[in-house]
Chain A
Amino acid sequence: GQSLEQPSEVTAVEGAIVQINCTYQTSGFYGLSWYQQHDGGAPTFLSYNALDGLEETGRFSSFLSRSDSYGYLLLQELQMKDSASYFCAVANTGFQKLVFGTGTRLLVSP
């Protein structure tokens, strides 16, 4: 089977940096994705890591360590609009499908 663990909630203030961790247990691991979902909205893709290391996309970065079955999403210069739920998702071999974690709700305060 496959399972992912991420914190249920994280709080931070505007301008701060926050890291959302994700640990996974899976067979046939292909890569780790991150999605953002605002309340009432659809999930939207943020990043994908297939190899170990850090991928940077603007204010957001994502890290993967395959040997530790661990990844994280790093959000810098937090803005109020970053308040949302963030999901990690494991892609299986061949990227046939995704298995999602239960999500981390990020609350950004002024």
Chain B
Amino acid sequence: DADVTQTPRNRITKTGKRIMLECSQTKGHDRMYWYRQDPGLGLQLIYYSFDVKDINKGEISDGYSVSRQAQAKFSLSLESAIPNQTALYFCATGNLGDNEQFFGPGTRLTVL
């Protein structure tokens, strides 16, 4: 079984809809991250969390919100989706003292 899973893997939605992307991990890591990747670009950090009570904004948090429901679960919400939020979204995990992040398979989101 994959250590970091994301659901859904693909989603097509319409402008103005509320969307939630979910991430779960079985690695036992404290830290979880949400990134966005646009074609030809690197990964941009949206939000990150170091534990259930800790949420931090990344570079591009506007238009997004997150919830850390448990150590193993970190969800990303788009309250009112817009077309320029069409992108590939990755969840990642890591641990304090580690220099590696482990990425989920990604969610391809299309906003029409």
- Using CB atoms and an 8 Å cutoff, list the residues of chain A in contact with chain B: 4, 8, 31, 33, 41-45, 48, 50, 87, 89, 91, 95-103
Contact = CB atoms under 8 A, between A and B. Distances in A.
Given A87-B42, A102-B40, A45 B101 contact: yes
Interface of B: 33, 35, 40-45, 48, 50, 56, 58-59, 90, 97-106
Given A42-B90, A43-B90, A97 B99 contact: no
A42 B45 contact: no
A98 B104 CA distance: 16
Contact of A43 (B43, B45, B58): B43
Contacts of A8: 40
The interface centre, meaning the residue of B44, B48, B99, B103 with most chain A CB atoms within 10 A of its CB, is B99
Contacts of A96: 48, 50, 56
A71 B40 CA distance: 21
Most buried by A among B43, B45, B103: B43
Contacts, number: 53
Nearest to B44: A100
A42 B45 CA distance: 15
A89 B59 CA distance: 14
B42 A33 contact: no
B99 A102 contact: no
Contacts of A95: 97-99
Contacts of B99: 31, 33, 48, 50, 91, 95
26 contacts: A8-B40, A31-B99, A33-B99, A33-B100, A41-B105, A42-B104, A42-B105, A42-B106, A43-B43, A44-B103, A45-B100, A48-B100, A95-B98, A96-B48, A97-B33, A97-B48, A97-B58, A98-B43, A99-B45, A100-B35, A100-B42, A100-B43, A100-B44, A101-B42, A102-B42, A103-B41
A33 B102 CA distance: 13
Q: Which of A8, A42, A101 has the most CB of B within 10 A?
A: A42
A98 B90 contact: no
B23 to A, nearest CB: 12
